[in-house]
A and B are shown apart, each in its own frame.
Chain A
């Protein structure tokens, strides 16, 4: 068998961006430091040289202006990809996201389309402290009119960005900064990962771990540890958070009868609560135990590496939670 082509998570962003610009003449990229610097994480390295400054545009540090630029350009026929460097900066542009981008089509009775892709970076673990480490995907998932994806692998990064760019709705691609160096198989050609489709990344029969983004990796590690003790966990990578693949969640629950929902975001008010409620509504009779949740405690993300390590969910906590769940049953 030929060796599979591998890319890092971040290189997949650049390759996806390049693919989109090649495929769609009305697509352009705008954001802080995206052109000349190639993105502070390297997301757009090489794009400026290949496509020129009409297709990739450095913006001022003006998040509200950046989102507005995307909304106005999308409504008038372009297909923008806008980059919000850190998800934490959404506070600066929440009106343009929540009141304009999300609602424009509906308020206008369906006459406007907003084919805009927002690429942003979430998650902690890099000692960036409380304002550069958050996982705020629940904010966006709460807004009708927006779609949200949160890829865990380089393959999904590329496929979901290309899908997002082809969708006629606003789609947020929530990347994870601690995953940037992760390597994985990425085909060279263009391909899509459909929006709204979860993926079973590890089969199991004893418990389902429903998760997304970097916690997929932690969940697989946890599953491997559990496996040593004879517990086979199924890991479901949601990939899309809005729309959410409830069907896949229910199918896994029916198989294992036990669920732990895992995310890096703060547990209270996080998507785990929504997922638990959906399971309760659609698969209550299949449950052998209450739905368990692993998430960050109710505090801002701390700075000190020691504190941050204690804060962010990891494989160990997932193992503990699964064991408690199984012991309780």
Chain B
């Protein structure tokens, strides 16, 4: 039973602590979250092998230090950049389950290479449309149950949607929740904050209960994980006198702003749409790549995002199941009775 852990030390520290009121996740807290996960795993699955990303902040190492689980640092050429999560996920393609700590950005980096492995995505980021807020101990137990097998994978960890971006030169990129074009010209602090600079957006999900672009779209058209389509938004020029729609949306944690939009259109799975012109492309909330005036991209929604684990569904399924592999769990529940 092989369980992967990728904790991103850089998540939850960007400028949105100043401009908005985003949560602060210091690295002690992240380490405590991993420690709670491990407690959940240890309780059910003491034979598990933990394969972890050896981050420079020693988040996971510190959490594993007091654990009896067998643990193995992932052997890769890590560079203390976002690419580390992608590389670590690549090494975990054969794991039974992977636990991530981060925000949308972290899970996007992981999602690029993780393939079909179920992902327990714990939120320690800023905009958290993809990962979930849940108790890490239980999340660890859910991961252990998954690693032991026989939970109905498609029910407790269905595949999410993903956005695929193709550049003219054939390069591709990938986002989980949103691809946004803005009028920014620098990467700067990476966060996208100013609605007056938005040009277009493509969303895999549009959820009015979240924050960021997904919430803006969600105010006009709800698009759930289960829907086989995404949503395209277009925004008026900054000085345009009229626009078709205006919504009040949480553009970042602690920051609600009026946002004007021209139109919103569904984009069916597999259907491509192209965009061109000088914009800054932001993937899952982070300014990432410059699109020059003579360049264009196509964006397409596919159902090939990571299998995101529904912790509640896992636990309920285990309780209701008679599977022998859940003996450990049942002992725990029996004891509780």
* Touch test A–B (CB under 8 Å): no
